[in-house]
Amino acid sequence: GENVEQHPSTLSVQEGDSAVIKCTYSDSASNYFPWYKQELGKRPQLIIDIRSNVGEKKDQRIAVTLNKTAKHFSLHITETQPEDSAVYFCAASRGNNDMRFGAGTRLTVKP
């Protein structure tokens, strides 16, 4: 089955700096790569996703890039703000019942 590895496990940045979280996956048939944000004590919520036929997707300060050949994808957050502090999870899937999540990255944005 699919195996997703996520790095780093913790990330601390100054407000205004950029943050990058990287994930690798093992199953070349995976074609959907969502990113979820989980604030402390809250539920995970989808923030952005990308399909395998697209190399990059942006939504305001958030972007995701996908390299199918290398089987890795990354989340980029620019101009970070304290409210970006949370745990971020990447995931990879061929279908929803086989979605595999990374272990998570705890992002801290220091004011």
Phi, psi of 69 (to 5 degrees): -65, -45
How many residues touch another protein under the rule CB under 8 A: the total is: 26
Instruction: Output the smallest distance, CB 110 to another protein, in A.
Output: 23
Q: Report the residue number, 85 or 102, with the smaller CB distance to another protein.
A: 102
Residue 96: strand, helix, or coil: helix
> Quick one: which of 19, 17, 33, 102 has its CA closest to 66?
33
Instruction: Output the smallest distance, CB 14 to another protein, in A.
Output: 26
By CB under 8 A, name the one of 20, 62, 63, 99 that touches another protein.
Answer: 99
> Which DSSP category does 54 fall into?
-
Should residue 31 be labelled a site residue for another protein when binding is judged by CB under 8 A? yes
Bond preceding residue 44 cis, omega within 30 of 0: no
By CB under 8 A, name the one of 16, 46, 58, 61 that touches another protein.
Answer: 46
